Amino acid sequence: MRYRILGGTGIDVSTYCLGTMMFGAVGNPDHQESVRIIHAALDQGINFVDTADMYSGGESEEIVGKALRDPRRREATVLATKVYFPVGGEGPNRGGSSRRWITLAVENSLKRLGTEWIDLYQVHRPDHRTDIEETLDVLGDLVTQGKIRAFGCSTFPAEEIAEAHAVAERRGLRRFRSEQPPYSLLARGVEANVLPTAQKYGMGVLTWSPLASGFLTGKYRKGQAIDLTSGRAALTPHRFDPSLPVNAAKLDAVEEFVALADEIGCSLPELAIAFAAAHPAVTSVIIGPRTMEQLEGLLKGAPVVLADEALDRIDAIVPPGTNLYQPDGAWRSPVLADPALRRRPLGERAAAV
């Protein structure tokens, strides 16, 4: 396992980060097995574990807490979690990145994790209801209080990262030290702006979905029947229906990547993770196994390093900065989601005419 420094924090983290979204009701509900998977990852040299308060409604954090109950394991592990989505009840203030919610949410995460501190506390998505100054201010207070060691953002567009750094400099506040974007062979859009912006501000980058929601596992192949009633496909069938042009394009690219992986002598998942780790902005790649078998298969690729010739071939299949699809859960501007934000009131439009 290789290690890199996380941004300007001085913290060494493994190039593989263990993501725990699949531990709990959403993925593997067996707590004991999930703990064994976490221990196996740590024993193989991974020292970076990422979770979130909203994963399985807090259950994932509880499982991670059980796995790190031994103080020696906790001390040796760089623990990251996230805040933003509503957890543990209903109400208009249960979510976001306000001082009120973050102050409550961090205490709940600390309890579920069974720890006194969080190494990296991340804002899970942008919150346009809250001034970024308020968010940075409360996160800085948590650092001062010793409840977190550093903080970052997740799935932020480049302009919001830049704004956060500008506000931090102007107001003398602590700043985001990391960003967590989606990044894979099939979704390279962040190469255009997000990754260069993170580099500009000296941020660490831990990427998610390197296997593109399963398309880069080798399970889904061109010309083979895809069961849209089970697994991931049942949850979002539009992401897997081969009759749709966007999915057909993914399947075409997968065939070329399989051929390349065969030439190199590695598996398709190993190629996918090695690709993400090769970008100079990337500190660590999040892997999200659900079973011990999946973990073992992914760990085999840790030594794989891609030569320039292989990276050139990848560029020819999916050009740099190009998304063949929009990753599930990726940030989408509210201006695009809400038509009212793109249209003048009808009275004003009529007056203008």
Which one from 55, 84, 220, 325 is the annotated catalytic residue?
55
Full DSSP string of 106-144: HHHHHHHHT-S-EEEEEE-S--TTS-HHHHHHHHHHHHH
Q: How many CB atoms lie within 10 A of CB 345?
A: 9
| Residues whose CB falls within 8 Å of the CB of residue 325, separated by 6 or more in sequence, listed in order | 186, 187, 212, 239, 246, 247, 249, 250
What is d(CA 60, CA 82) in angstroms, rounded to the nearest whole number? 12
Show the CA angle centred on residue 197, arms to residues 130 and 55, nearest 5°. Answer: 55
Widest Cα–Cα separation across the chain: 71
Dihedral angle of Cα 170, 171, 175, 176, to the nearest 10 degrees: -80
SS percent in the chain: helix, strand, coil, step 5: 45, 15, 40
User: Is 84 assigned a catalytic role?
Assistant: no
- Annotated catalytic residues are 55
